[in-house]
Every structure is written in C-alpha cells, then in structure tokens.
Amino acid sequence: MFLSLPTLTVLIPLISLAGLFYSASVEENFPHGCTSTSSLCFYSLLLPITIPVYVFFHLWTWMGIKLFRHN
C-alpha cells in the first residue's frame, strides 16, 4: 500500500500538526522542553522544517544537473 505524493503532501503536515498540538497540550514547559531528542515535541517541530528544506535542495540539485547537461 503506497500512498501517492499529493496524499503524502497533505498527510505529513497534518500528522506533524497533530503531534505539535499534542505536545503543546501535554508538555508543561512546551517551547523550552523541546530540546530532548527523546520527546515527541522535538520531532513535531523538526518535521515541518525538514520537508521544505529537503524539497528545496532536491530541486536545486535537479536544476544543477539540468544546467550542466545543457552546457
């Protein structure tokens, strides 16, 4: 069962947002307690940042390959 890219594009931010709201409601020191890598809060803040950065560098690499091939 593989999910399509548009489904994953919507599903991953929604899951991350749900984890962020869960962490905000459960953790008593929410913004300052997100430094431990064993907490769910850390990953719910890390995931929304990681995906756009990955997409940017993936497209940057693809564009570099396209420009190199046409020169």
Cα–Cα distance measured from residue 42 to residue 17, given in angstroms and rounded to the nearest whole number: 12
Q: What average pLDDT does this structure show over 2-18? A: 76
Domain ranges of the chain: 5-69
pLDDT, tens only, 21-69:
877 787 777 767 677 777 777 777 777 778 778 878 888 888 888 888 7
Per-residue pLDDT, 61? 85
Per-residue pLDDT, 68? 82
Name which of 7, 8, 2, 4 is nearest 47 in CA terms. 8
Whether 3 has a pLDDT exceeding 80, the answer reads no
